[in-house]
Amino acid sequence: MADLTVKIGDLSFANPVLPAAGPNVMKLEQMLDAVEGGVGGIVTKTVSREPAVYPKPCIAKGPCDGLLNCETWADKPWRSYLEDYKKVKQTGVPLICSIGYSPEDVAELGKGLEAEVRPDGIEFSTHYVGKTLDPLKKVADALKNSVSCPVWMKVSPSTPDIPEMAKVMSGYVDGFVAINSVGPALDFNINDPRPMLGTEDGHGWLSGPAIMGTALYCVFQISQAQDKPVIGVGGIRTGEDAVKFIMAGASLVGVCSEAIRKGPSVYGKIAREMGDWMDRKGYKAIDDIRGLYSSKVFGRSR
């Protein structure tokens, strides 16, 4: 049977499948259900210093079997999640807390989370930070100077030069998460052409299978540009989808839209399907398939 364990630094994951930060891990029950459903670790819903206020409805079906959302970060004070995070830590799976957005935000949250919860890592979202390197470096630097645990940067697909960003930011962070949802995007029913989301004009951000190709290429670019681990996120529904991300250079994968659609059992299902595929093909461990795509393109892997 294939060994699905993944080791990143001092962290060990029983399998490569995590929830991606989103409404699928908004509540304690969802996080505990994800653990029961077979995740290799937990990534929380993004929190910031002030609760978010976002329009309703905030999620709708989108084009190409995707989802549209106008969610932002969590709509409750971040300190209200501390006891939830502690209970998730007690399950024994690695806990990665997702936070945002400004240098002041991440410094305060990083210090508070490490003092109260001691997460195994912290992910910071760049969704509202900006597309140039200077603000990204400032946020990363503020967080790294506030915590001792690993720091992961979640990448926006609209970043102008992904390889250059990865090269520079690898000096500031311990890993990359790629990608965030894509947009702005729009969809509506031609039989009732009105906004599907609560934004003024109905626009939102697209996730799910429609963005998988974009996510795969971002993972490939980042893994080729530098040596820090990459967590691949975007449209994963099956074990074979997850295998593609590992072959493109990812060490772990994140799942959100499919869990929203089908519930927390999808995490374990995807991991089992990965193992079954690897068994059929004769691969013994995740490292045997990681970066295989680049070996076909360049005759080498990272």
The DSSP line for the chain is --B--EEETTEEESSSEEEPSSGGGSSHHHHHHHHHHT-SSEEPPPB-SS-----SS-EEE-GGG-EEE---S-SS-GGGGHHHHHHHHTTTS-EEEEE-SSHHHHHHHHHHHHHHT--SEEEEE-TTT-SSHHHHHHHHHHHHTT-SS-EEEEEPTT-S-HHHHHHHHTTT-SEEEE---EEEE---BTTB-S-SSSSTT--EEEESGGGHHHHHHHHHHHHHH-SS-EEEESS--SHHHHHHHHHTT-SEEEE-HHHHHH-THHHHHHHHHHHHHHHHHT--BGGGTTTHHHHHHHS---
Q: Is residue 298 part of a domain?
A: no
Q: Is residue 299 part of a domain?
A: no
Q: Is residue 147 part of a domain?
A: yes
Q: Is residue 161 part of a domain?
A: yes
| Total count of domains within the chain | 1
- Encode pLDDT of 194-250 as tens digits: 999 999 999 999 999 999 999 999 999 999 999 999 999 999 999 999 999 999 999
Domain CATH number, residue 150: 3.20.20.70
Q: Is residue 301 part of a domain?
A: no
Q: Is residue 207 part of a domain?
A: yes
Q: Is residue 108 part of a domain?
A: yes
- Give the pLDDT mean for 257-270: 97
Mean pLDDT computed over every residue of the chain: 96
Per-residue pLDDT band for 298 (boundaries 50, 70, 90) equals: confident
Range of 26's domain? 6-292
- Encode pLDDT of 39-90 as tens digits: 999 999 999 999 999 889 999 999 999 999 999 899 999 999 999 999 999 9
